[in-house]
Amino acid sequence: MKNEVRKFKFMSFTLAGLMLIMSITILPLVRHYGTVGAVIWGCIAATGLGYSIRVELFKKSHGLRTYREIKQFMDGEKSIEKSEIPTKERRICETICKVLWGMGTALIIISFIK
């Protein structure tokens, strides 16, 4: 259990660091290095995407959905209360919101590149 918590903390902090690097470096890389900078940033973004997938798979394998459950897991408490399972409609709505948010973010990034 302790090893799993350490692994989760490492993955979480690595993901947070990559997200910070991604948000800070996009404009300087693209403005100073052009296409090469965009490729470098794309590699950083791909690494961040890979880590985010790893973190989400870890959370799914341990049944962690809410902040409370993640906090209890990281504190080492074994009795994790399962939150209410979201309804099908709520999951569909959340998925649509995530897709729209991602598309909006992509449009903003593309507008900075042009």
Domain spans of the chain, in order of start: 2-82, 84-114
> Residue 69's pLDDT band (boundaries 50, 70, 90)?
confident
pLDDT, position 52: 93
Reduced to 3 DSSP states, what percent helix, strand and coil does the chain have, rounded to the nearest 5? 80, 0, 20
Distance in angstroms (rounded) separating the CA atoms of residues 57 and 76: 19
> Residue 70's pLDDT band (boundaries 50, 70, 90)?
confident
Phi, psi of 103 (to 5 degrees): -65, -40
Q: Which range (62-66, 84-88, 89-93) has the least confidence? A: 84-88
8 Å CB contact between 37 and 31: yes
Whole-model pTM above 0.85?
Answer: no
8 Å CB contact between 54 and 46: no
The token pair that represents 93 in the structure block: 């709505």
pLDDT, position 85: 57
